[in-house]
A and B are shown apart, each in its own frame.
Chain A
Amino acid sequence: MISIVRDLIRYNIEFAIGLVLTTIIVIFACLSFFSPVNPNLVYTAIPDQPPSWQYWFGTNSRGQEMFWQLSFAFRNTLSFGVTVALISRVISIFVGLLSGYLGGWVDRILMFVNDIFVAIPIFPILILFYFVMRSNLNSFTLALVMACFGWPFDARLIRSVALGLRHREFTRQAVFAGMSPIKIMLEEHLPYVMPIIFATAMANMIWSIGLEVTLAVLGFTNINIPTVGTTLYWANNHSALVVGVWWWILIPVIILVMMFLGLFLLAVSLNEYIDPRSRLRRMGV
């Protein structure tokens, strides 16, 4: 495993850049564990200070130090993304393997449900949830709802892999030896599916974080929890650009773009590494 990562870093520039970017952001987010400032308090510092040696990222109009604010913000946002990715992976593995392996009416029902979820535009539904729950909507519930919409694509992918595996020799041998379907799925088929899981997890994170940021900026999540989206929400609320507090908006956006870019590069390079046909192509150059 380590040698694979090492090879990827040395020869795949996309992976290297993606890893660097993502690591920077993760470190930045972890710094929040050592923060001397409580992010939920306001007016703990002089408001509207541009970035300087004292305040690395400046302060905002609510009197909060941007550096620690953003550190917490990214920590919350990243953990949100990871949570959604984890839950939706579990659902999509379950549905995909079950559907692909068992086939028949199980497959038909699951794919029917799958198609319904694919067709429903998630944004209005999320807004509906916010509308109903208002300030009771905490990160975890939101993550749960998003996970419920994040599994369809990948479940289909996993299903097609499982369909192929069903007819392989080792599967028939396992059935012949009396292995129960669940055991076959978990022990024999799951390893084939893991690479897809990894690659799609990144894409899933990008998607869920993007959605969370969008909702938060519009003020449709719990705005008292510091996340990247809520930071932008408060910045808008205080008309940051008009007042001239540009660092309140620009710095989070830059770091956000870095994070997206990092995750995306990781996803793309992992995908290409896994796909055996692209490997052959690279060998020729």
Chain B
Amino acid sequence: MASNDVLEVRDLKAYYLMNYYGVTREVRAVDDITMSIKRNEVYGIAGESSSGKTSFIKVLAAAIRPPLEVVAGSAVYDFSGMRPIDVARASDADTDRIRWKYLSYIMQGSMSVLNPLRRIESTFEDFAARPLGLSGGALRQRVVEHLATLKLGPEVLRAYPHELSGGMRQRVTIGLATICNPEFIIADEPTTALDVVVQKDVLSLIRNLQRQMGASVILVTHDMSVHANMADRVGIMYAGRLVEDGPTRTLFTAPKHPYTAHLVASLPRIGDTARRPALEGRPPNLADPPSGCRFHPRCPLAIDRCKTEVPPLATVSQEHRSACWRADDVEPLVTADGDAGRDTVTA
């Protein structure tokens, strides 16, 4: 494991094993993923619904419960001042030590992650008192300071969740996740179900905090524009597998997997009226996935080899990997005009 990596995932497999009224099902939500994340890096994970990305980050967050189980592989964190810990296999006691202090989570949907019957200050006490080792006045002080960086005033503390607006609730949730200065933050669709203005706010908040703390963030969303604006590197998931990953700019300008090419092309640009090709078909059933490359039923470049042999995630160029037998033949579907890289979301 490179000393610069804060997370290394190797051959990770996590399936839903279900037995209900005599019917056994094995849903291969995470099927053989190998990747790593450096310190102080924003890594985006993109993919459609049921690509397995939520299950993947549940494993990373050490938050899996039956029927989801880790079947093989490892996910090792290397935090400062600690021995490396493999969350795929670690005991509860070990994972408890890293929770919230080193590893935190921003959950999807700010609506319901806060206890409706508890004031915000009590929630902060529940979450942060132990990892920070503070209580009473000192804790309150720290919370107020932290909320200020999120542009929330101290009056928020006495409020109940339903008394705050959606945007404020999302900031509180981000505040909760970042108050202990974790080294690794998992953000699960933090902007879904928010309107564009609030989205911009939330994203810049996450970006600023990440820079300040020097933390790594794994940002999961299906929205490619968010990745374009936020991520240093992006990984594309399809049907439980990682099909391409690499620096954001490279992926957007020169994707080497047909699926990525289509995803990138789906972003509209002002003034661009070209027709966009749509992919036929739908994502596969993870309980009964296609043989060989899972994308082959929908792939315009598919050849016979794709139906029988699984393409490995092979290095295409510097830090850029793709799982496609015809990676060299992949062309971007829409030519980039000028700078299609980072926007000025966070000036």
Contact = CB atoms under 8 A, between A and B. Distances in A.
The 8 closest A-B pairs by CB, nearest first: A284-B66, A284-B67, A11-B21, A283-B20, A283-B18, A7-B21, A283-B67, A11-B22
B65 interface: yes
Given A283-B20, A285-B66, 8 more contacts: A10-B22, A11-B21, A279-B20, A282-B20, A283-B18, A283-B19, A284-B67, A285-B19
A158 B214 CA distance: 54
A278 to B, nearest CB: 12
Contacts of B67: 283-284
Nearest to B66: A284
A10 B66 contact: no
Interface string B154-169: 0000000000000000
Contacts of A10: 21-22
Interface in A8-49: 10-11
Interface residues of B, number: 8
A276 B18 CA distance: 15
Interface of A is mostly: helix
A283 to B, nearest CB: 5
Nearest to A6: B21
7 contacts: A7-B22, A10-B22, A11-B20, A11-B21, A11-B22, A283-B19, A285-B19
B215 to A, nearest CB: 33
A7 B20 CA distance: 10
Interface in B12-26: 18-22
A284 B21 contact: no
Contacts of A284: 18, 65-67
A7 B21 CA distance: 6
Interface string B61-96: 000011100000000000000000000000000000
A282 B66 CA distance: 10
Interface in A264-285: 279, 282-285
A125 B19 CA distance: 51
Interface in A230-285: 279, 282-285
B125 to A, nearest CB: 30
Contacts of B65: 284
Nearest to A11: B21
Most buried by A among B20, B21, B65, B66: B21
Contacts of A279: 20
A11 B20 CA distance: 8
Contacts of A285: 19, 66
Contacts of B66: 284-285
Contacts of A7: 21-22
A205 to B, nearest CB: 27
Contacts of B18: 283-284
